[in-house]
Structure formats: structure tokens, C-alpha cells
Structure 1
Amino acid sequence: MANPWRGEVALEIDGERRVLKLTLGALAGLEQELGAGSLVELVQRFESGAFSARDVLGLLAAGLRGGGHEMDAADLGRAEVAGGPLGAARAAAELLTRAFVLPEQAAGDAAHAGEGL
């Protein structure tokens, strides 16, 4: 089970439930991989709905690495994700939110996460 207090998000990939988490190392790698000037820039892209499929894949792959799963963005791009592209985008937005906001604060924010989807 995913623990929101630890920043974890659960997502079903290829029929298997996996727990994702953005660790500091995963975030640093993600920043470099996506070419974001800062994590704030990445958060702003999700808040405004201006994120790309590459952003979603990068976030989920970083979360998988942080959660101890060996799956890169290329493998994830070929995988069956529960909820399809919309489910993947929502999980990525939730993962990013949980990395920086306490669960009780996120309760209100989660209702708005991915509204631009």
C-alpha cells in the first residue's frame, strides 16, 4: 500500500501494482533528464496543464526508480498503465505533489491536480 506520508503513489503497470516515490536522487536525475531549469518549473508546467508526455514518462520513471523498481522511461512507454495516458498523467501530478506537500495540505490540492487534463 502506498503511504502518502512518505510521498508514495501507487500505480498499476502491466497488471502489477507498484509503489512510486520521488527520492532526492530521483528528483536530481529527473531535473537533468527533462532539461528543467528547476523543479519549480516542472511543478508549474503541471499546474498550468502545459506538461508533455515526456514530462509524465520522466516523472513516473523517476518515481519507479525511487520506489526500487528497475523500469526506465522507454520500458514504461511500452507498458500498459492503468487508466491509460490520463491515469499516467494523474499519477505523475500526484507524485510531484506528494514530493513537496504534506498529505493534509495535498487533500485540497489533489482535488485540483490534473484539472487541465
Structure 2
Amino acid sequence: MMTVEAQKNESLILRLDEDEIEQWNNALNEVCNGFTVANFPAAIGVSRDHALTLLERLHHASSNQMQTFSLDDLLAVRNALTTVLAELDSGEYPARMGFAVEESRRTRDALDSVAARYRFDRFHKTA
């Protein structure tokens, strides 16, 4: 399960388990390489190049290793999961993503929670 280890400047240091790394990786791979995403920056929240760089980082990530992610990174993965959940039908979803739809929804919801907490903490530090 995703663990927030620390918040440092404009980023979070997280530990991801093997399933989270795989889901993040697969969602980004689908939006970058699996199907066309109209207006990619608006839909995913980052440029396609940024998403590809994040995909490359995740491809080499190890389970439970501390990783640093920006809020943009977290939201890009969250938006990629949301896009994949909307694009793939429930029959093909497990085959392409390697996970049940409900597992990906839980991962997306966990990202929402972490991002919201991060924004809350940043807001209160500047207020």
C-alpha cells in the first residue's frame, strides 16, 4: 500500500508496493501507447513527454523503494487511471491492465486522497 514517507518542498517521497508500481506503469503505458488520448495535456494534466519520462521512471522502480513524485506526477497517474477506466470496457480491462477494474478504482481513490492531503498541507503552510 502506498506510504507517504515525507513531504519535501514541492514533492512527496512515497513507497509503492509492486501492484501499485505495475498499475501506475500500465495506466501510463495505455494512455501513452495503447490508444489515442484527445488533448493529452488537458486530459492527463502533463505533456506526453512528461508522462513518458514518468513511465520510464516507474518501469525501473523497485517495490518499497522510496521514490520522489511531484503533485503533477500524482495527478498524471490519477488522470491516466481515470482515462483508462473510461476507455477500456470491463471485459478487456483485466487483460490489458493486469488488474480488476475495482483494484484500479481503489488505487485512483488512494491517489486522490494523497493528492488532497498534499494540497491541504501546502495551503496551510502558505496561509
Structure 1 length-normalised TM: 0.32
Q: Which has the larger radius of gyration?
A: 2
Question: Of Structure 1 and Structure 2, which has the larger fraction of its residues in helix?
Answer: 2
Ranked by relative contact order (alpha carbons within 8 Å, sequence separation 6 or more), the top structure is 1
